[in-house]
Amino acid sequence: MSIPSPILDDSSYEDLRTQLVARIPFYNPEWTDHNPSDPGITLLELFAFLGEHVLFRFNQVPEKTYLEYLNLLQLPRLPAEPARALLEFTTADTTGALIEQGAQAAAGEIRFETTTTVTVWPVSAVAVCKSPQDLPGIESDDYGYVAAAMESLGESAAGKAPIGYKNSIISASSEDSPVNLTEAVDGMLWIAVLNESELSNAELLAGLKDSGALINIGFVPDEVPPAIEDIAPCPGPGQETISGAVQWQVSTEQLIDTDTPIYRSLKVHGDTTIGLRQEGVIRMEMSVGDAGIFDFLDEDMAGAGDLPPVLDEESESRVMFWLRGFRQDQTGVGLIRHVGINSVESVQAVSARPEYLGTGNAQPDQLYRLHHAPVIADSLELEVEMPAGWQLWQEVDGFHASHPDDLHYVVDRVAGTVQLGSRKVPQIGQRIRARRYRYGGGRAGNVAAEAINKAAAVGNVKVLNPLAAKGGSDDETIEVALRRIPGEIRRRDRAVTPGDFQELALMTPGADIGRANTIELFRPKTREIQAAGVVSVVVWPNQDPRHPNAPLPTRTQLRQVCHWLDQRRLVTTEVYVIPPVYRPVAVAVGVEIKPGYAIDAVRNWVELVLRQYLAPLPPFGPEGGGWPLGREIIAAELEAAALQVEGVEFLRGLGLARYDAGTEDWINGDVTLEVDEVPELKEITVVEGPPLEPGVVIGAPPVDATPVPVPVEVDEC
């Protein structure tokens, strides 16, 4: 239903001037000069100008009333979300430097705070995976190294077959590919802790042992989403189960019978990676007295069997000890992007000092304003001076479930205001204070790698973020809120209809979701399309630098949306949050250009229009919401889109093809998509005249005709 917004008075400047001039003969017949040069007419024009502005403000009354009604519903705008980043500290202090929780680091004017403490030591880390490598043939000269290693291991290798491996160094460098720990020949993540101080390895290790301090290991998995068939349904709020706990061990200075190494288990004080499943930090206590490196006599044993891998000569000389982690149930860890040391998680926020907000007045719905906004969720601690002393009140989403004696308050995180309830309220003279809270957030916090390089108020310590910060988002605009709030009233924060799941997925805090679609009764693991009680939510990120034409959500984004929907779905609903499936397509267009138009410009515009028409993200696509899931791609539809370009006389033809992974070939014709598929435009060619064959690379010479480069020596006089 379309309800027009009323215009209370639509008089313009010209209307007001005409009306004023027309009244002159009635009030003053002697005034006969009505030309613009007359001073009286100038004054009338001034009044008409001011009157037009007054009417403009007057016409805002309906919008003002609408906004006031929405405020009465107590549905605030969505606040900014803070970015998060993994930080790594370095120091030259041989006694270690303690970084307290809440310590600040900055990228220019953007400040981050650490979420835990970390003791920074003058050490670095090299993470290694033993990736499989084919063994040399028995007849080759290189096989002698394999035989010597097996012989040096003695009884520990008796009756066992050798398996080759190579060192795969895990690095955060964007040029390096992630390392797949699932393929490791021993299933272990090896971390060499290297000395970066002027002390000897023994001296620094002794100080580390005596302090009993914790070592923080940062871990970042690769965020490529899993295959559709490997995605499990959302477990439900509070039902997450952790299987396959990671066991951590440290190398010692001892061997059993000169060939079997001894490793000691380490006590883990905290693990935000949830068993190496997500980005986070593992905190381990270094209290093992005999931690060190193995002292073996036979050099052929190096790197063989259960011994750590061998590094380059310079790094090997600085190794103090090795850490190794593995899953107890032998399940694979997957792809790893980065492993570091002296690591700590941080959030783009600033802790505010205690603030005095005011005194109570015994009235309901008391409202107080904090000094800073936006407020980080669950960070405010509000206290009221009660007869028994300062008492902590509890933050709630609303007062609909509050009892008369509950000490509840509601925070508007965007405005930075605190509202107390209408039942239990502070009395006259009772003071109110914010003991602590944090504020910050915004898309500006998604800084690039190594942008966070200032450690505030910490001496002799440097800091860097090895990977880019992520998760920051800005406040919701009023325009977006006005479109969202009617839906909030309809669904009441519950996911029941397909539209509810779609809208709530887009609202996931910090996930930066650009598009979401719901597929009813579709179970992605079995491709079943009539599964009772099943809802699959397909999500796209706002951006994906690695795949700009075919954006895919990260594992973290899938997990965030899953957790968000879990708290709002019906108990009987089985929810899957999945990435889209892309079907590669190729388009070849032949155009005829109108006279007077630049050929290159028209070709570029045709290509741009077709790319946007087939794009998966809003505001592109046939209807502005991205290409619809499962919608067939018809060549005639693409022809109609290309003909809209100014300068195109007509089309000589348009070819459309899809890529068949089974035959590894392009198949011409219209493209039929599955229910969870969208197109990925792999190739597009726009030429003047007849179109080329879609899927054929322009200018590629035949394989048989490719010349073989051969170096030629040139004689010089």
Alpha-carbon distance of 198 to 669, in angstroms, equals 69
Beta strands at 179-180 and 214-221: parallel, antiparallel or unpaired: unpaired
Do 408 and 365 have their domain in common?
yes
Q: How confident is the model at residue 176 (pLDDT cuts 50, 70, 90)?
A: low
636 falls in which pLDDT band (50, 70, 90)? very high
SS3 assignment, position 245: coil
49 with 97, same domain: the answer is: no
- Specify the pLDDT at position 546: 84
| Residue 1 belongs to a domain | no
Would you state the pLDDT for residue 77?
84
pLDDT bin (cut points 50, 70, 90) of residue 479 is confident
Is the predicted pLDDT of residue 709 greater than 70, yes or no? no
Residue 701 has pLDDT above 60, yes or no: no
Among residues 578, 613, 648, the one where a domain terminates is 578
CA angle 125, 129, 130 (to 5 degrees): 135
Q: Say yes or no: 520 and 627 in one domain.
A: no
Positive or negative, the CA dihedral 611, 615, 618, 621 is positive
Q: What is the pLDDT of residues 23-80, one digit of tens each?
A: 888 888 888 888 888 888 899 889 888 888 887 777 666 666 767 766 777 777 889 9
Whether pLDDT at 679 is above 90: yes
Q: What is the pLDDT of residue 358?
A: 93
pLDDT in tens, 199-239: 988 888 888 877 777 899 999 998 888 888 888 898 876 66
Looking at the structure, tell me whether residues 215 and 361 fall in a common domain.
Answer: no
- Of 331, 322, 304, nearest to 187 by C-alpha is 331
Residue 155 has pLDDT above 70, yes or no: no
Are residues 598 and 677 both part of a single domain? Answer: yes
Using CA of residue 647, residue 649, residue 653, residue 657, what is the dihedral sign?
Answer: positive
Residue 603 has pLDDT above 60, yes or no: yes
CA atoms within 13 A on the CB side of 185: 22
Per-residue confidence (pLDDT) for residue 242, from 0 to 100 = 57
CA–CA separation, 585 and 298 (whole Å): 59
Is there a domain that residue 695 lies in?
no
d(CA 523, CA 576): 8
47 and 166 co-located in one domain? no
Give the end of a domain, one of 524, 551, 578. 578
**Boundaries of domain holding 681:** 583-688
Residues 405, 311, single domain; the answer is no
Greatest pairwise CA separation for the chain in angstroms: 126
CA distances from 413 to 359, 398, 401 (A): 21, 13, 20
Q: In which band, very low, low, confident or very high, does the pLDDT at 564 lie, cut at 50, 70 and 90?
A: very high
pLDDT at 383: 95
Model confidence at 324: pLDDT above 60: yes
pLDDT at residue 175, as a whole number: 53
Q: Is 511 left (phi over 0), alpha (psi -120 to 50) or beta?
A: alpha
Residue 500, pLDDT above cutoff 70 = yes
| Percentage of the residues of the chain whose pLDDT score is greater than 90 | 48
CA atoms within 13 A on the CB side of 482: 10
Residues 408 and 434 in one domain: yes
Instruction: Write out pLDDT tens, residues 681-690.
Output: 999 999 999 9
Predicted TM-score of the model (pTM): 0.81
Q: Is residue 30 part of a domain?
A: yes
Same domain assignment for residues 525 and 606 = no
Residue 320 has pLDDT above 80, yes or no: yes
Residues 21 and 89 in one domain: no
| pLDDT for the residue 96 | 86
Tell me whether residue 539 is in a domain: yes
Domain check: are 569 and 468 in the same one?
A: no
Q: Is the pLDDT of residue 178 over 60?
A: yes
As a whole number, the mean pLDDT across the chain is 86
Asked if the model's pLDDT at residue 677 lies above 90, the reply is yes
Residue 715 lies in a domain: no
- The number of domains in the chain is 6
Pairing of strands 123-132, 260-265: unpaired
Torsion of CA 673, 677, 681, 686, to 10 degrees: 30
Q: With respect to residue 709, please indicate whether it lies within any of the assigned structural domains.
A: no
> What ranges in 520-571 are assigned the alpha helix state H?
555-566
Whether 176 and 315 map to the same domain: the answer is yes
Q: Are 228 and 676 in contact (CB under 8 A)?
A: yes
- Whether residue 6 lies inside any domain: the answer is no
Chain segment 526-538, per-residue pLDDT in tens: 888 889 999 999 9
Distance CA 208, CA 193 (A): 12
Q: Is residue 237 part of a domain?
A: no
Q: Could you tell me if 27 and 7 are in contact, meaning their C-beta atoms sit under 8 angstroms apart?
A: no
Residues in the chain: 717
Q: What is the average per-residue pLDDT within 81-109?
A: 92
Residue 2 has pLDDT above 50, yes or no: no
